[in-house]
Amino acid sequence: MIIHWLSSIDSTNSEALRRLAQLPSGSVLAAYDQTAGRGQRGNSWFTEPGKNLTFSIVLKNLPLKASEGIRLNYLASVALVDFLDAKGVKAHIKWPNDIYVSGKKISGMLIENTLGPDGRVAASVIGIGLNVNQKEFPQLALATSLTLCTGREYALEASLEEFLAVFEGLLPQLSAGELMGRYASRLFRSGVSARYHDLLTDEEYEGVIEGVEDDGRLRIRDLGGRTRLYRFKEVSYLL
């Protein structure tokens, strides 16, 4: 993978999409300062300049149909969890792809795919924000960073290279089923009883996260024994 470090950019995802035609597969755009980072659901992604990793990985010619694009989320999520494991930090994936440590978010991702005329994923921009050396999060009560977890400081460049080595090592599994199993095994609240708000029926209930379907839907079994399946924005986690 070839890393291009940018001193300042609005959003590495936006820049990768603008330069998509010129960037070969395996290119990575990383920014020391991201001034208009984009998050999920149209949110912004705030990060202190020079403290954290904000980067986008460009992949092309993937063996994925549009409906299989969800596997990129599994890949990036498992790579983040494995990378953090290697640092001694036990993280979980809050479905669909937020990475949490002890109830606080350490990393988020925004994956933007373009589809080819054959309906396959022609290119994917996998944008990842990983909190590394930031110690205070004024806008976010429930955020954490690698340094807050371990008390150590990390070189951003070396950390990105380490993460990308983990990510690249998992790439051959993109088409294999075991990636989904590894993702499911690290889901936040997996196998434990907790409360959820079903946004489809406006019902609050207690249930257990059992895993994910092939299409990425979250599977929760409620205490009445009924299996409920959710797409993004159809369920929220209650405390």
Confirm or reject binding of residue 51 to ligand BTN (CB under 6 A).
Answer: no
Find the binder of ligand BTN among 8, 25, 35, 43 (CB under 6 A).
Answer: 43
Ranked by CB distance to ligand BTN, the top (closest) residue is: 108
Task: Indicate which single residue of 57, 92, 127, 146 sits in contact with ligand BTN (rule: CB under 6 A).
Answer: 127
Query: Which CA distances in Å does 77 have to 8, 50, 70, 100?
Result: 26, 23, 11, 11
Smallest gap from residue 105 Cβ to ligand BTN (A): 7
Contacts of 226 (CB under 8 A, 6+ apart): none
Among 109, 179, 184, 209, binds ligand BTN (CB under 6 A): 109
CB of 176 to ligand BTN, least distance (A): 26
The DSSP 8-state label assigned to residue 102 in this structure reads T
- Which region among 33-41, 73-81, 157-165, 198-206 touches ligand BTN (by CB under 6 A)? 33-41
Q: Helix, strand or coil for residue 95?
A: coil
| 180-208 core/surface letters (b: 16 or more CB in 10 A; e: else) | bebbbebbbbbeeeeebebeeeeeebebb
3, 32, 39, 211: which one binds ligand BTN (CB under 6 A) = 39
Q: How many other CB atoms sit within 10 Å of the CB of residue 51?
A: 20
Cis peptide before 49 (omega within 30 of 0): no
Binding residues (CB under 6 A) for ligand BTN: these are 11-13, 34, 37-40, 43, 45, 54-56, 98, 108-110, 127-129
